[in-house]
Amino acid sequence: MLKNYSDDKTKLDGMMPVRQLLPFWDDLTADEKELVLNNAITAHYEPGQLLFGSDGALCLGLVAVRSGSVRVSMISEEGREILLYRIGAGEICVLSASCVLKQITFEVHMEAEVDTDVVILGSGALNILMESNIKVENFVYKLTAERFSDVMWAMQQLLFYGFDRRLATYLYNALAEYPDGRIKTTHEQIAKNIGSAREVVTRMLNRFADEGIVELQRGVIIVKDKEALKALAD
């Protein structure tokens, strides 16, 4: 049994979740569909619970999110975390299938951000499907390439952009979720998301506040000058 599965996990019952979540479902043979149904499970994870990583499963397989949100990150030996990307409802991650995809040579951590329900197709079944069905293989490698693009974007942000620009970009993107300009988050959460230290985030937010770009309240960052924030992000 995989080490870090939630206690709330059951064998997949019925086709509907699979039809909705696996784009290659209609390209499978009857035997391949049966293989999926016999080797996929549903699982529930609570906020902060690890799906995959150094303390979780060695090789999870394909993870499709039914509801909720999962953050995918890398963690250094010193414990510094870098957010690579998020996957939400209807999205799939294959970087958790490193034993199947030998091209994946780095370890990622997958953590539920909120109450999250997923469908997990085990690595053994995924490997069989990739060997027997070219459309499954193409889908997996295409998705892997897209995720590596996300990883490279995160690395570019970290290596080549100043911290003021990275923080401004993060806050400006957060306005999509908080259109009223009241971003509900903490300095610690921001630091975790952009791969920095809380103290560094606090100093830069204080600078933004001095410049009238934001107003700082407990647990909330209020964007006062959206255009100035956008200019810093661009």
Q: Are residues 177 and 76 in the same domain?
A: no
Which residue has tokens 């606090």? Answer: 202
101 with 127, same domain: the answer is yes
Domain boundary among the residues 110, 143, 159 is at: 159
Q: What angle do CA 104, 109, 114 make, to 5 degrees?
A: 135
Domain-located, residue 4: no
Instruction: Provide the token pair at 112.
Output: 């539920």
Under 8 Å between Cβ of 18 and 25: yes
**For 5-15, how does the pLDDT look when each residue is reduced to its tens digit (9 = 90+)?**
344 455 555 55
Please give the model's pTM, rounded to 2 decimal places: 0.66
> Contact, 33 vs 19, CB < 8 A?
no
Query: Can you give the CATH number for the domain in which 222 is found?
Result: 1.10.10.10
CB distance 40 to 120 below 8 Å: yes
Range of the domain at 45: 9-159
Q: Mind listing the pLDDT tens digit of every residue in the chain (234 residues)? A: 333 334 445 555 555 567 788 999 999 999 999 999 889 888 999 998 988 765 545 577 899 999 999 988 887 766 677 788 889 999 998 877 666 666 555 677 888 989 999 999 988 899 999 999 999 999 998 988 888 888 877 777 677 678 888 899 999 999 998 999 999 999 988 988 887 788 889 989 998 998 999 999 999 999 999 999 999 888
Kindly state whether residues 135 and 31 are assigned to the same domain. Answer: yes
Asked if residue 55 and residue 79 are part of one domain, the reply reads yes
Tell me whether residue 129 is exposed, middle or buried, using C-beta atoms within 10 angstroms of its C-beta: 0 to 12, 13 to 18, 19 or more.
buried
The residues facing 72 across adjacent strands are 85, 110
Kindly state whether residues 120 and 169 are assigned to the same domain: no
List the strands of the sheet with 69-75, edge to edge: 50-52, 109-112, 69-75, 81-88
pLDDT tens per residue, range 131-187:
999 999 999 989 888 888 888 777 776 776 788 888 999 999 999 989 999 999 999
Q: What are phi and psi of 93, to 5 degrees?
A: -125, 135
Measured CA to CA in angstroms, residue 224 lies from 79, 110, 166 at distances of 34, 34, 18
Please check whether residue 92 is in contact with residue 62, taking contact to mean a CB–CB distance below 8 angstroms. Answer: yes
Q: 214 and 101: one domain?
A: no
| pLDDT at position 13 | 55
Cα separation, 92 vs 66, in Å, equals 9
**Beta carbons of 223 and 213 less than 8 angstroms apart:** yes
Tell me, yes or no, whether 36 and 139 share the same domain.
Answer: yes
